[in-house]
Structures are given as C-alpha cells and as structure tokens.
Structure 1
Amino acid sequence: MNVSMILDMAAEGFGDRIVIGRAQDGLTPVRLRELAVGGARVVRAAGADALVYLATNGPAFAVAQFAAAHAGVPLVPVNYRLGEEQLDALLANHPHALVIAAPDQDAAPRRAGLPVRSPADWLTEAAAHADGDTEPAPPTDAPAVLIYTSGTTSAPKGVVLRHHNLVSYVLGTVEFAAADHSESALMSVPPYHIAAVSNVLTNLYAGRRTLTLDQFTPEAWLALVREQRITHAMVVPTMLARIMDTDGLERSVPSMRSLAYGGARMPVRVIETALRSWPGVDFVNAYGLTETSSTISVLGPAEHRAAVASDDPVVRSRLGSAGLPVPGVEIEVRDVTGEPLDAGETGQIWVRGEQVSGEYAGQGSAVDERGYFHTRDRGRLDADGYLHIEGRTDDTIIRGAENIAPAEIEDVLLRHPDVLDAVVVGVPDEEWGQRIEAVVVPRDGAEVDAGALRAAVRGTLRGSKTPERITYWTELPRTVTGKLVRRDIVAALTAPEIGTKGQP
C-alpha cells in the first residue's frame, strides 16, 4: 500500500481537472503525477533517504509529498519558524536528506551540508525529469511522512506515519470523486501540520481543488475565498475568531458550503457567532492528532445546528464537543489505572484504528497490547458517544489534593462578551502546590472587571476553581495552529517583573 495510489486513482478518474492551485494555472492529477515521478527521479539521483520540506505551503509541497512516495522515502515537513539551534538539531536527524527550502530558509540545511533546492527550482527540476514512462511507486509500508510535534510542553518528537495509516484515513473518511468540478478547498495551515498533509490526500481523492494561504489575515482569507469562489475551507479557532471579531470586515462568503475547524479548542461564543453570520455554511469540528493521521472524531453540520437551536443543556453542550468517532476508529476513556470509565466520567482518552500510528522515530510504537494509543488528552464520552475534550493531561492543575482542568474555567471566562481569549494555568505555590491564575485578552477598548470574572467562575463552578489572580494581556502565545504555549505563559506570570493589573 502506497499513498501514490490516491494520485493514480485521481489521474485515472478526473485527470484533466485542476486539483492543485488556482483555477487559472493549477495542476491536474495527470500533471501532478508526472511531476511526482520526475521529483522521485531527482530524489533517487541525489542518493537521498528522506525529502525534507522547509518552506511555506503551495504546489511544491504537493509534488514533494507524492515524489517522496514514488521514491520510497519519507517526506519530512519541518517548521520554518524554528530557531537556528532547533533547526540544526532536527536536520541532524536526516544527514542524507534532500532539502526543499525557501531562499530565506536555506542557511540551516547548507550548514548541515545537505543538498538544497528552492521550491521553484524543485518544480523546474521535477518537470525536467518528468518525461518518459510513468514509474509505479514501490508497494511499500515504509514511513510515508515524519512530522515533528510542536513541542509546546516538551521537546519535539518525530511522529512516523506509514503509508497504510494515511491511506486508511482517506478511505475511511472520504468518498472517491465525491466533489464536483466547481468545488475548491482553502487550507490555511502550514505544511508541517498533519492537516496540511492529510488534506492534500483527501481533497485529491474527492476531486476537489486545493489552494493554500501562507500568511493568514482575515482580510486576505476573505478576499481569496471570494476571488477563487472557495466552497470548502479549514481554519484553526484563532483564525475564525479573528474573522468574526475584527470590526469593519465585509464577511460575505457566497460560495462557501462547508467550513471545518480544529487544532485547538473552539470557544463556544465564536462558533455561535459564525453560525449566525453564515447560516448557509455547514460547520464541521474535526478532532485529531498527528499520531492518528488527522481526524478521529467529527461534529457534523446537523449537530451544530441542532445544538444551537436546542434548549436541552445536554444537546446544547455538544456544540463544544468533538463529536462522534469517524468510521474505523474506537475511542475509550480510561482512569489512571487503565480501566475504562462509564459515560460522563472524565479520564484519559485512548484511540484505536488502522489510521492510528502512535509511532515515534527512534522510540518505536507507543500503542498498548490492545492496539490503543494514549492521546494525552483528558475528556469524557456522553451517553450517546459524543466526545468532550477537557484539555491535555499535562495541563491539569493540582491544587492541594484536587485535580482541576483549566478548560472548564476557560469556558466560563470566554462567555464574557468582551473577552476575546483566555487561558488558565497553575503556578507554583508554597501552600497549595499550585494556585490558579488566568490571563484574558479583552476586546479593544473594553474594560473587563476581574472581580466580575472571578464571581462568574465561583458562581458557575466553585470557589476552589476560582482564579486567584486575573491578568490582562493584548494576546496569548499560540502556535500557528492555535495551540496555547502554556509554559511561556507560566514563565511570564512567575517572572519578577510581571504586572498585577486585574488582580482584585
């Protein structure tokens, strides 16, 4: 099994349809396959055992993904925002790689003595070697992609996704040729994120044209949606929040049919605003991890609308859930001893399925004897099987003998109409072990009373979950995919010079 079979099926099924890039000058599946074969010849000629991608998203990335598959080597998309020391460390893991790097990113691979091509040169060279018979890709189950995790709480680890993991995900979640010729998808995540990898495959399999937006701004995103008549899009919660919260925007998206979001928790206030603003758009919440080849559970459009319209608190709470498992995936919630918990009980989320890798470079498999992988997320399954995420296990605040999930406190803070963003963390405390502190981002020009926020938490939850201090910042540190970098927040709050604005 090889991911190139996805490209072969597309080339045979709708070979003259534009599937990568702009409608005016994009790539068809047939041309994409020719370039992939040519790129594979370049990789083999270089004697490379990996193809590292160190640039922004675009057609060169799609060609690299399938060229690596045809060459039988892994694609390694690397975060081009990393510092010099981190880049050097990651590239040291791939001493025989060929590197595709943007001109302003080629210093690190050149220091490592690796051969480098710019994205433009890569496409030109692939085209120059594309003539001749189309060579079949090796029928391998070797690693297809190696993605380094974001490392928001620890050093990045290389997640190994094999061909059968990715192909299983595509076959289990997408119908072949389901899209018509007018459909197009806009991706706004970088190539080193699993959603970028998986969406190249799923949209191609469906027959949907894929475009990318390198530098997100609400204005640029909306303009491209209207110009290219985008029908489907994927955003992270911070992006949708900026689209909904930026004053003075023309937010019309007449061509949009479906908007998927994921990568981090979506504030209920933001999705409710989006549903009101775009009533004709189908919203999809997709929850997944790099280790699971992307999505493992989905909250679909009908469930979004039912939750917003319902007066039943159980149904309404599903708007903040991650929905139901996708076909082929099983989810368990377990206690710390590994025993499955009943519906409604919070514990550790474990997942099993053919698309689940749970494998790390140099460390082997992390799945248990039953084939389940520990996601390191906390959550619960309700009586109807809907998955509710309550944060990372590592985020848990231990105050005295009580384990406290920051997510439930953050949800209360985010209900305030003038709070755009919020985070709750535990900071060291001599008496309690950890004390609860919060940072909120107010709407521009708004005065948000810390005492009122603390009272809201106390009234909704209880006194032991009330932040002892609330601080105001203009923004929170997040990765490009919207994940909070909590270690930076704790470091800032415990620094000697930290201000106390907002402390009652």
Structure 2
Amino acid sequence: MDLPFIVATLTRRGLLNPGRPIRVASQLGALRKWGWSLAGELRQAAARDPDRTAIVDEQGGELTYQELLDRSERLARSMRAGLGVQAGDRVGVLCRNHHGLIEAVVAAMLLGADAVLVNTGLSAAQLATVADEQSLRVLVHDTEFAERILGLPADVHRIDERVQADLIAGALPGELQPPERDGRTIVLTSGTTGAPKGARRPTPNGFGPLVSIIDRIPLHARDRMMIAAPLFHTWGYAALQVAFALRATIVLHRRFDPAATQTALVAQQCDALFAVPVMLQRLLEVPPPNPRPPLKVVAVSGSALPGGLAPRFMDVYGDVLYNLYGSTEVSWASIAGPADLREAPTTAGRPPHGTRLEILDEADEPVRDGRVGRIFVGNEMLFDGYTSGARRETHDGLLDTGDLGRINPDGLLFVDGRADDMIISGGENVFPSEVEDLLSRLPQVREAAVIGVPDPEYGQRLAAFLALHAGETLDPEAVREYVRHYLARFSVPRDVIFVKYLPRNATGKVLSRELRRYYG
C-alpha cells in the first residue's frame, strides 16, 4: 500500500493529530518494540492516551488504557510464574464480551503464547475436541461455563473469573520483555455444518490493514464504539483491533439485548456500533430510543444481509450502515457503504484499497460478464492456514473464499452463498440466498432460511423454514405462489415449514444442520 495513501487516510481519521512529544515518542516506541499484535496495539494506546477510558463494561465498570494494560501484564506474569505459560503455548479463552476476555488474550500474547478464541456456543463434546486438537495448556473461562468444561483433559489449567482476579491481584512485580516469538490469534471457524476448525490469524505488519478499513468505514481516533458482535468471532475481534488502534472507548455487554443496547448507545453517546446482521433485525423489533443515539457508523459483518433489512434499518437510524463481506480465512473482501446499500440492499460492495478480488470459473478463468463464479480474494491479512495443516485453494496469490458470487456492471459484488450450499434440483442450480431474500420481504416473515433436502425424483428439492412475527399467519401455498411469481419454477420451495425461530450460532449464522434434522 502506497505511503501517501496511508498518510492521507490516517490524517483524515485523526490519527496524526499533534500530541505531547514525549507521549508520541513513547507510542511509536511501543509499536517498534512490541509490534502490531493486540498487545502491541494496547501498549501504543496506553503510551499515547493512558488516562483515556478504554473499556466501559456493564459489570466491571470502567478501565483506562493504562489500567487495562497493567491488569493484562499482571495476569501475564502470574500465568508465567504460576502455570508455566511460555512462548509457543496455547491459551484458550471461553468468555463473553467483557474486559476479562481482553485481558486474557493480551496476557497470552505478552508471553508469546497463542490465544485460541473459543465460541461460547460450543457443546461440551466440541469443547473437549477443541482442547485436544489445539493442545490447550490453559483455558480462561467465564464461571457460567464451569459444567461445560468438565470433560476437558486433566492437564488443561482452568482459570475462571475468580481465579483470574486472584492472579491479577497477586502478581509478582517485574517487567515483561518482548517474547522470543509473537503470540498469534487462532479463531475457530463458525462450524455451522460441522466441527469448527482453528484458523491462524496473521499479525499486521503496519498501518495497511487498518487503513484499508477506515478509508471506507469513517471511524475516527477517540471514537466511542459499542462492540456487540462476539469478541471471539473474527468480526468482533477485528473491531477490537481497530478500536485499540484508534484509542477508542469500547462499550461492552456480555449478551446482546436490543433494548439494553439502545439504552447504552444513548447513555454512552456512541459514535459507532459493530454488530452482526441478525442484531439489526432485533433492534428494529423494539421501539427506537428517543433521543436517537448519535451513531455515525453501524458496521456489520459475519453473515449476509437479508433482503430489505438495510433500507429498513437506515430509514430508522439514518444512512450510517456499512456492510463488510469477509471470512475468518480472508479477513475482508469488500465493503458496501450507505449509498451502495440504498442502490442494492443485498450487495457486498466493492473491494477496499489494497484488496484484489476475482470471480473465477471452474477452469480458474476470470468471469467478467456478471455470471456466477467462485470468489477469490487477496489482501494483507489472508490467514496462515488451519492449525490442522489443511489449507484453502489459491490462485495467483488469491485465496478461495468458498463462496459463489458475481459482479454487476456497476462493479458491485453480490454473494450468492457457499459453494457447498448450492442446490441442484432437476439439473438446475438454485442459490438459497436468492429465495431467502425474497421470502424475507414478506411483511409477515421475521426470518427465513432455505436449504436443499434429498428428493427421489429431482435429486434435491427446496425446503423453506419461516419464523413469523407474533400474531401473523401464512398459508404454505401462498408462500409458494409468491415465490413462483418472482422466480423461476425450480426456485419454488416444495416444503414450507413454520418454526418459532431459526437455530443460530453465537455469531448469528443459521445452523443448517439443525434444520436438516426435520428430515431425519
């Protein structure tokens, strides 16, 4: 990424504003010594703005950047002295959104250990598998998960919230030095169709990744940001990294509740909200606050925006919505701003500066006429492979996202869904997302999911699962007729099943495997 573009973007977002010379020098020294990991970003923020509020935690009160760094360092020293944690070890973190999760991740990285971000929705059996496959030495966990971790190997040290507080309080004095190796972040894939895999996230090596995001999403130094997306998820963790880089004040709630979120956005005067799309749906289901929160940015990622959600949300909260399409493996691929989403509500937008995106056919040739193909992406933050040793297909430096998509004549990307989710019914290719978007526009429908199920005649047929708003009803044949009116006959769901709610994981993605249980 060219230097003039980096400087111009950092200037626009307030990161190059003058400061006290001694603090600016200390900030740059922290980055030079500790690098661009989460630990390094926290150190630079504490060096430049030590007394600025870093975390507003609904249960833990407020912590300044210096206090957060001190607590993380104390935890690191206690983990090294009492548990023998050292560079190269792996520390699992099974926590909801609160300062304890951040302290644990930073502490691991200060020691050169890898932090494994564990999905709070995993079952006891999945947790045991993750602990074994990731060779966890320590698991830092919220007390509420005590029973779920009983099946972990005996040699995994458990640190709950009480123990974590004791380790911080009882830490021996001393100074930490940069470890012999950088601590890495390992994010577990969502596991919507099977067991989650550990993906090794790269550590940024400069301002490039930050600039790619804040050039297109107008976040500024010292903003007040609520991160509602789970911090263990790629999107929530990316928001945390951006927040530290911007020396922002971060507002956290352990669980997402739409009314409580609205109250906090107003009370904390938040400039930005990081969320997943289903959270926007929930916010629209409760009366909007009065006065409205002073939001300038609502940034979402993690799953596709259902049809019609973007304009409905912006009609209430203003043209502040930004949709980032990416994945654990490729980080980001494209960003859609408010104007894009007004023009095409389901678009994934355009690649940001420094990102390459290609639509390739089965022969790995570019598709440039709006036809559907495989989405390949290249940027500075492509993952380093799965911890199992498996990798994804690459082509000319671009990584396969596993998704299918197309680019329209205006250069906007549209994602049609996972390649392995495409349904072939009677020889015709059907993308569930197109049918889901259409069904989501029905006023009676709260949320919709479409999957393929076995069919003896056509190979597969479509099954639509609909959760309706309270008090609403729909006739299955009316649903089929509605789809028949707008789409081809092979896109009409043969089965229409009404459910109270769609099964989702902790990041809001629909669990297709749970829906398939209706068919044995």
User: Is the Cα–Cα contact under 8 Å of residues 425 and 458 in structure 2 kept in the other structure?
Assistant: yes
Map of 1:119 onto structure 2: 161
User: Is the Cα–Cα contact under 8 Å of residues 91 and 109 in structure 1 kept in the other structure?
Assistant: no
User: Is the Cα–Cα contact under 8 Å of residues 2 and 139 in structure 1 kept in the other structure?
Assistant: no
Instruction: Please say if 1:395 is aligned against 2:430.
Output: no
Instruction: Please say if 1:17 is aligned against 2:43.
Output: no
Counterparts of 2:219 and 2:490 in 1: how far apart (Å)?
A: 51
More deviation, 426-435/18-27: 18-27
Counterparts of 1:145 and 1:168 in 2: how far apart (Å)?
A: 19
- Following superposition, the deviation at residue 96 of structure 1 comes to 5.0
SS at match of 1:303: helix
Map of 1:179 onto structure 2: 220
Map of 2:448 onto structure 1: 422
2:159 maps to a residue whose letter is: R
Counterparts of 2:134 and 2:484 in 1: how far apart (Å)?
A: 52
- Following superposition, the deviation at residue 321 of structure 1 comes to 0.7
1:448-504 deviation per Cα after TM superposition (whole angstroms, max 9, x unaligned): 233332222222121121111222112111112121111221221x24xxxxxxxxx
**Equivalent residue for 1:38, pick from 74, 85, 94:** 74
User: Is the Cα–Cα contact under 8 Å of residues 55 and 119 in structure 1 kept in the other structure?
Assistant: no
User: Is the Cα–Cα contact under 8 Å of residues 131 and 152 in structure 2 kept in the other structure?
Assistant: no
- Following superposition, the deviation at residue 433 of structure 1 comes to 0.3
Map of 1:441 onto structure 2: 467
Counterparts of 2:390 and 2:451 in 1: how far apart (Å)?
A: 32
Map of 2:84 onto structure 1: 47
User: Is the Cα–Cα contact under 8 Å of residues 14 and 207 in structure 1 kept in the other structure?
Assistant: yes
Alignment of 1:43-122 (within 5 A): 43-45=79-81, 46-48=83-85, 49-95=89-135, 97-107=137-147, 108=149, 111-113=152-154, 114-122=156-164
- Following superposition, the deviation at residue 180 of structure 1 comes to 5.1
2:171 maps to a residue whose letter is: H
- Number of residue pairs the alignment of both structures matches: 476
SS at match of 2:388: coil
User: Is the Cα–Cα contact under 8 Å of residues 57 and 99 in structure 2 kept in the other structure?
Assistant: no
**TM-score using structure 1 length:** 0.88
SS at match of 2:110: helix
User: Is the Cα–Cα contact under 8 Å of residues 272 and 298 in structure 2 kept in the other structure?
Assistant: yes
Pair 478,87 (structure 1): closer, same or farther in 2 beyond 3 Å: same
User: Is the Cα–Cα contact under 8 Å of residues 45 and 247 in structure 2 kept in the other structure?
Assistant: yes
Counterparts of 2:447 and 2:108 in 1: how far apart (Å)?
A: 40
User: Is the Cα–Cα contact under 8 Å of residues 2 and 69 in structure 1 kept in the other structure?
Assistant: no
Instruction: Please say if 1:461 is aligned against 2:467.
Output: no
- Following superposition, the deviation at residue 138 of structure 1 comes to 3.3
Identity %: 27
More deviation, 192-201/117-126: 117-126
Pair 127,340 (structure 1): closer, same or farther in 2 beyond 3 Å: farther
Pair 464,366 (structure 1): closer, same or farther in 2 beyond 3 Å: closer
- Following superposition, the deviation at residue 115 of structure 1 comes to 1.6
1:138 maps to a residue whose letter is: P
Pair 102,291 (structure 1): closer, same or farther in 2 beyond 3 Å: same
SS at match of 1:333: strand
Instruction: Please say if 1:253 is aligned against 2:266.
Output: no
Pair 178,422 (structure 1): closer, same or farther in 2 beyond 3 Å: closer
Map of 1:299 onto structure 2: 336
Counterparts of 1:442 and 1:166 in 2: how far apart (Å)?
A: 47
- Following superposition, the deviation at residue 233 of structure 1 comes to 0.7
**Equivalent residue for 1:5, pick from 37, 40, 52:** 40
- Following superposition, the deviation at residue 234 of structure 1 comes to 1.5
1:235-284 deviation per Cα after TM superposition (whole angstroms, max 9, x unaligned): 222211122134x56465332222112211222322222111122x5111
Alignment of 1:6-405 (within 5 A): 6-22=41-57, 25-45=61-81, 46-48=83-85, 49-95=89-135, 97-107=137-147, 108=149, 111-113=152-154, 114-129=156-171, 131-133=173-175, 135-138=176-179, 140=181, 142=182, 144-164=184-204, 169-174=209-214, 179=220, 181=222, 183-246=223-286, 248=287, 250=289, 252-279=291-318, 282-293=320-331, 295-304=332-341, 307=342, 316-317=343-344, 319-357=345-383, 359-368=385-394, 370-405=396-431
Structure 2 unmatched ranges of 5 or more? 1-34
Counterparts of 1:193 and 1:165 in 2: how far apart (Å)?
A: 21
